[in-house]
Structure 1
Amino acid sequence: MSFNWDRALQKANDLEDDNLSAALQLADGDGRWEALVRSPEVPPARRGTEIPLSEGSQRHVMCPDLYRATLSGSISRVDQFLGLAEQTTHTNDECHDVEIQFEDFFESNESHKQLGARVHGYSSCTLQEVTAEKNTMLHIAAAQGHLELVKHLIRNDNTLLTSQNSRQETPLLLAARAGNHRVISLIVFLAQESGVGAYEVLMKRSTDGDTVLHEAARHGHEDVVQVLMTVAPALSAQVNNASMSPLYLAVFRKSIGVVKALLQYSHPSAAGPNEQNALHAAVLVSQEIASMLLDWKAELAYGKDASGSTPLHYAASNGDITVVKNILNKAPLTVYVRDQEGSSPLHAAARMHHYSVISSIIDHCPDSFELCDNQGRNFLHIVAQHVGTENHNCDGLKNLNLIIKLVSQRPDLKMLVNERDKEGNTPLHFASMKGFPEVLLHLLKASKADTTQMNNDGKTALDNAISLSSFSLMAGTIVTLSAYGAKFSPQRQDKLKNWKDEATKWIDRTSTNLIIVSVLIATIAFSAAFNVPGSYNGDGVAILRKKIQYNIFVVLDTIALSASVSATMLLVVAKAVSKWGSWISFSYSLIFLWISLFTMQLAFVMAVSVALGETRYVTKAIIEMWQWQTEPQRRTISFLSRLSLSFPCLNLKTDGSNNALEDDQQEEA
């Protein structure tokens, strides 16, 4: 095809730098772009095709000087090495006598392997030379954004337009990766004008199946995407080998500008990996992008990934109430879509204890609480089943309390408290398996859970508590359940007595260790009383006695000493008296022990505060650090108090007629 290069380059040069994409429109004088824009989707390019070469030509390793000249963008230096300049002082031997080792550089060309150290022996550099990864000069210039050099190289050899490196990447794709939109515009324009064909250049793919639009979207280059969507919107419908569309990549990168550009044209694909769509990613990364996608195509909300999960499943598990409400408004029926395990979005929110999401879903779809998974479990089963250390904190307990309060306050939800799954387990069964007495208290107080329910194995919630590995959690769970009338399932009483004997042995061993701790605390508190901050004056009176912090220190230290001594006495009693007395003494000793630790810590804070004097900021920092640790200690003391006060209510008999611990008293008598 005859082609007037001067006319083509003049069109490009007449345009302003930031408007080079208009060159693509100027090239449409004979209607060639019309077919390109409307072209249908095409299958991925065949892998492993060779780079187009002129007849008899070969690819050679690029000499270092030519590489550096191309990288710098200097046309004059490039021409010197290529022998295109009218006058050159470059000596060919200086370039090509360089010793380089490229082991197995071209696997398919045995002649290159045999060459060994010497690269090639041509008299001058050529445009066909490539780097170690088969990048041509045009690859390098396009990636670096050297606009004038790109024009110059294409003018001298337009076959470089379709050249591909070892990853089947074209110069156009590298320019897109670097975000050089002006180079993109120029290459596409010159490809069409030169007869190579813009369609041929635009539709080539890398070994990963990525098109030039994939690269632009992946790296968030909005200007490049705008150019590509102007000339070839069909690219937006392509997916790579990982089933990722450009839209999905842009969403995952959180590139709002690229997403807007892609949504302005035609019908872009929203496909993602593992059968996801772009909305699956959007609900996790950006509320704004999720809203844009829902406004563009609300049907995306019904899309399922490989596990059957919808975007609402993702949003519900993430706890983003804004996104959840947006989906509920645009696609309310997604509430009833279940994944492969039968879990609804309500189950997903319950698993993470997201109260606001649970409340919102039930408000939008009041009957959604009836949904059960493949195991026959409602959302309250899931709430109780997934109580654990990761959400056993202040916020987690607060959300849990709110969820149970929601269930107890709505007449239609109360039925969930004692509902059985396919194995006969109620939510109380699952809560007892986890062994968190505070969680059990929420269920027992607010929801009036039935503690006598047995599952298909004939076990009650109290039976499950015995299998807990932690004795302290087991004891607390049993005491809490027994205080609300829980009973063991019918079984031999000697089994229960064996358990009580093991519990007594544990108390004896633990008491021995705790006595050492309590005595150590008493020793420290006693010593601190006579080594007060600021020392004493000549009359033996504390110098800082008029300071309020000092007086607080004295009071707290006295409490710590008294509590530790009391704990020591109770622990000694726990080892010496009957089983009944050992339980009571041990539980109360724990309370006094924690009080002594708590007050000793606070006494230390007051001592440091009075010693620092007017250093307010340091004092405030110390107090803040202490307050950070206050809540868990307060909760521990509160729990131990309830534990000790609940022992008189403990009933280990299966028929509930007598108190098993009272039987122990009678045995001792």
Structure 2
Amino acid sequence: MNAISGNYTRFFTGDFNPASYGTHPDFSQYGPLHRAILEGDWESTESFYRSHPEAVTNSITESSDTALMVGIMSGQKIEFITNQVEFGRVDLRRVNKEGNTALHEAAIVGHLKAAELLVGRNRSLLYIRNLDGYLPLHLAAAYGQREILFYFLRVGEVHNIQLSESELDMLMHLEISARFFVPYVKHIQEIKSMHDRTKLFVRMFCWGLQGSPEHSSILKKAFLLGAKNGIQEIVEEILVVFPDAISYVDEDGHSALHLAVMYRCEHVFNFIIQQMGVSKKLLLKVDNGGNNILHLVGRMPYQPQLEVGSGAVLQMQRELQWYKEVEKLVPVQATTTLNHDGKTPMMVFDEDHRRMIQSEEQWIVSLASACTVSTTIIGTIAFSAAIQVPGGNNDKGHPNLNNETNNNTGHPNSNNETNGSTFRLFAISNAAALYSAISTFLIFLSIFTTRYAAIDFLYSLPNRLIIGLISLFVSITSTIIAFGFAQYFMLFEEHETWNPTSVVIMSFALVTLFAFLQFPLLLNMMKTTYGRSMFNLLDGRNSRKGLRF
């Protein structure tokens, strides 16, 4: 595959520096033309063409790239490329040192409009191979240029290109290696269109291999690679045409189901379990190391598939959810089976995840420490406000602001009535702040005393963190509300109208800030703990458990 990286890499490295061409005796005269093309200056380019007619077809770089190739590789607008093609007699079949035509270069950089223009002028460009035998179709797949590849498949009549079985295998591998089937698009309609075209291509690939004696060796690589990369379309379409592909294993004895578990590809896992059935033969299959599927799910993932949400606790929780889900499917004897190292699945899980447990324990302890300090401060403030209430107490020890009668006349006073109602709201919010602060302190105190066993990360610790963060949010919000009422008492004067807008805005801003900083973590934990499972099985086992402490 080193040939594939040729032109594209050369263009973005120092080897493709236009300033360097001025020092080469063979190409120094084309320096102005090269700079004009890179700048998209058609007037200067046309002027150079008229004064140097040979520049239209000659190579202008040390890599034998033509002016048209430079224009395409630099991503010039289609109007500029069209002017280049229509000026003079441009040889569209001319190749550079790597044997690439202008269409090869368009496939590499993803210039779809240039590719449409070139194919419209000369359809035979689709069938020209470079020095390594690659068609433009191959290069589009290798660089993940989805739109151009689908365009080549649509207009190039891929069956007439006469791809050999080994080339079909290579084409599929290039697409998977370039993450071709991962739909990096934003809109639902685009996702559906990409999904349908992907399935069409894979179906075409499988149909082309029907009746071939070598279909097993070719499909085996693509099928297992698709399972490992989590590309459900490949797995689904191959199994539809060749159901026996479910028995394919790699050199280490890993089946597609093994790879889906090892690389944490839940979509492939769900499809295989739902469509192919949960057979004991499939689930009890062991690899060359004597590991069954439960041993394999007990290992750390073979690629970073853990970042499913904020907070380290979610990583360990996800690992445990994988293990528990696979454990439900396998027979009981699989949980105690020893591999060639003499280890049970749970022993493998504990050993492989020991470092993760330690790091997540540190993360949880640090979070609990910070929250405990915060709630201690809030509780101190709330308790102090309950003892030393705004306005002080009367001779009987009752809060003055809670008295709805005038202390001098003994008759009802409208202002005192307002103060009394407001004071009761202050007392309620202050009590809520104090009690929720104490609750938060107790919850996070229980986190400090947890044994931090692996199973605790599944429900116990997430539940405590969720309740603790909710209680902390209530205490902070109640404290801010109580402070707002206290400000009202301090600034209120008889016969004066007080505008509380500024205090309300500042209070709302503080609550919003806390929600903005902590709610993503809280919502993600609630989703993974109480939400729908990522394993969409048909037997009802995809619901979450209740609260567990």
- TM-score, length-scaled by structure 2: 0.57
In the TM superposition, 1:29-48 aligns within 5 A as: none
Spell out, residue by residue over 1:296-340, the C-alpha distance to the aligned partner (whole angstroms, 9 max, x if none): 3227997999xx984444543444545543443345444433344
What's the counterpart of residue 64 of structure 1? none
What's the counterpart of residue 236 of structure 2? 325
What's the counterpart of residue 429 of structure 2? 549
Native 8 Å contact 2:292 2:334 kept in 1? yes
1:518–1:600 CA distance, 2 compared to 1 (3 A): same
SS in 1 for 2:119: helix
Does residue 290 in structure 1 map to residue 235 in structure 2?
no
What's the counterpart of residue 299 of structure 2? 385
What's the counterpart of residue 116 of structure 2? 226
In the TM superposition, 1:273-288 aligns within 5 A as: 276-281=173-178, 282-285=180-183, 287-288=195-196
Aligned residue among 362, 369, 379 for 2:283: 369
Spell out, residue by residue over 1:624-652, the C-alpha distance to the aligned partner (whole angstroms, 9 max, x if none): 6555555899999xxxx989xxxxxxxxx
- CA positional deviation for 1:169: 0.5
1:563–1:242 CA distance, 2 compared to 1 (3 A): same
- CA positional deviation for 1:173: 1.7
Native 8 Å contact 1:371 1:378 kept in 2? yes
What's the counterpart of residue 537 of structure 1? 391
SS in 1 for 2:283: helix
In the TM superposition, 1:298-377 aligns within 5 A as: 298=206, 310-321=221-232, 324-366=235-277, 367-377=281-291
Aligned AA for 1:297?
F
In the TM superposition, 1:183-262 aligns within 5 A as: 183=83, 185-186=85-86, 190-191=89-90, 198=91, 202-206=93-97, 208-230=98-120, 232-238=122-128, 245-251=135-141, 252-257=143-148, 259-262=150-153
How high is the sequence identity, in percent, across the aligned residues?
14
What's the counterpart of residue 82 of structure 2? 182
Does residue 525 in structure 1 map to residue 379 in structure 2?
yes
- CA positional deviation for 1:174: 2.3
In the TM superposition, 1:356-435 aligns within 5 A as: 356-366=267-277, 367-386=281-300, 393-394=313-314, 397=317, 400-401=320-321, 404-405=324-325, 407-408=327-328, 410=329, 413-434=331-352
Which of 617-626 and 220-229 deviates more?
A: 617-626
- CA positional deviation for 1:382: 1.6
Native 8 Å contact 1:175 1:181 kept in 2? yes
1:263–1:165 CA distance, 2 compared to 1 (3 A): same
In the TM superposition, 1:572-587 aligns within 5 A as: none
Quick one: distance in 2 between partners of 1:220 and 1:350? 34
Native 8 Å contact 1:225 1:262 kept in 2? no
Quick one: distance in 1 between partners of 2:182 and 2:174? 12
- CA positional deviation for 1:605: 3.4
Quick one: distance in 2 between partners of 1:102 and 1:623? 56
Does residue 267 in structure 1 map to residue 267 in structure 2?
no
SS in 2 for 1:162: coil
What's the counterpart of residue 125 of structure 1? none
Native 8 Å contact 1:534 1:611 kept in 2? no
1:532–1:435 CA distance, 2 compared to 1 (3 A): farther
- CA positional deviation for 1:530: 0.2
SS in 1 for 2:339: coil
Aligned AA for 1:246?
P
- CA positional deviation for 1:278: 2.9
What's the counterpart of residue 500 of structure 1? none
1:628–1:176 CA distance, 2 compared to 1 (3 A): closer
What's the counterpart of residue 440 of structure 1? none
Native 8 Å contact 2:36 2:44 kept in 1? no
- CA positional deviation for 1:603: 2.0
Quick one: distance in 2 between partners of 1:416 and 1:214? 52
Native 8 Å contact 1:342 1:374 kept in 2? yes
- CA positional deviation for 1:287: 3.1
What's the counterpart of residue 170 of structure 1? 66
Aligned AA for 1:202?
R
- CA positional deviation for 1:424: 2.8
In the TM superposition, 1:535-614 aligns within 5 A as: 536-539=390-393, 541=399, 544-547=423-426, 548-559=428-439, 602-611=474-483
SS in 1 for 2:161: coil
Native 8 Å contact 2:49 2:55 kept in 1? no
Aligned AA for 2:300?
H
Aligned AA for 2:272?
I
Quick one: distance in 2 between partners of 1:138 and 1:103? 9
What's the counterpart of residue 105 of structure 1? 23
- CA positional deviation for 1:256: 1.7
Quick one: distance in 2 between partners of 1:279 and 1:515? 46
Quick one: distance in 2 between partners of 1:303 and 1:232? 37
The structure, 1 or 2, with the larger RCO (C-alpha pairs under 8 Å, 6+ apart) is 2
Aligned AA for 1:276?
H
- CA positional deviation for 1:607: 0.9
1:607–1:561 CA distance, 2 compared to 1 (3 A): same
Which of 342-351 and 605-614 deviates more?
A: 605-614
Which of structures 1 and 2 has the bigger CA Rg?
1
- CA positional deviation for 1:210: 3.1
Quick one: distance in 1 between partners of 2:177 and 2:360? 43
Quick one: distance in 2 between partners of 1:602 and 1:545? 18
Aligned AA for 1:171?
A
How many residue pairs get aligned? The number is 417
Native 8 Å contact 2:466 2:522 kept in 1? no
- CA positional deviation for 1:537: 1.8
1:280–1:370 CA distance, 2 compared to 1 (3 A): farther
1:233–1:546 CA distance, 2 compared to 1 (3 A): same
- CA positional deviation for 1:222: 2.8
- CA positional deviation for 1:431: 1.6
1:435–1:167 CA distance, 2 compared to 1 (3 A): closer
What's the counterpart of residue 584 of structure 1? none
1:292–1:377 CA distance, 2 compared to 1 (3 A): same
Native 8 Å contact 1:533 1:611 kept in 2? no
Aligned AA for 2:82?
R
What's the counterpart of residue 659 of structure 1? none
1:278–1:373 CA distance, 2 compared to 1 (3 A): same
- CA positional deviation for 1:399: 7.6
- CA positional deviation for 1:242: 7.8
SS in 2 for 1:546: helix
SS in 2 for 1:215: helix
1:313–1:600 CA distance, 2 compared to 1 (3 A): same
1:241–1:403 CA distance, 2 compared to 1 (3 A): farther
Aligned AA for 2:63?
R
Spell out, residue by residue over 1:28-75, the C-alpha distance to the aligned partner (whole angstroms, 9 max, x if none): xxxxxxxxxxxxxxx99xx9xxxxxxxxxxxxxxxxxxx9xxxxxxxx
Quick one: distance in 1 between partners of 2:273 and 2:439? 50
- TM-score, length-scaled by structure 1: 0.48
Spell out, residue by residue over 1:77-133, the C-alpha distance to the aligned partner (whole angstroms, 9 max, x if none): xxxxxxxxxxxxxxxxxxxxxxxx999923xx6xxxxxxxxxxxxxxxxxx9845xx
**Structure 1 unpaired stretches of 5+:** 1-42, 48-66, 68-100, 110-127, 192-197, 437-466, 475-509, 572-590, 644-669
1:105–1:152 CA distance, 2 compared to 1 (3 A): closer
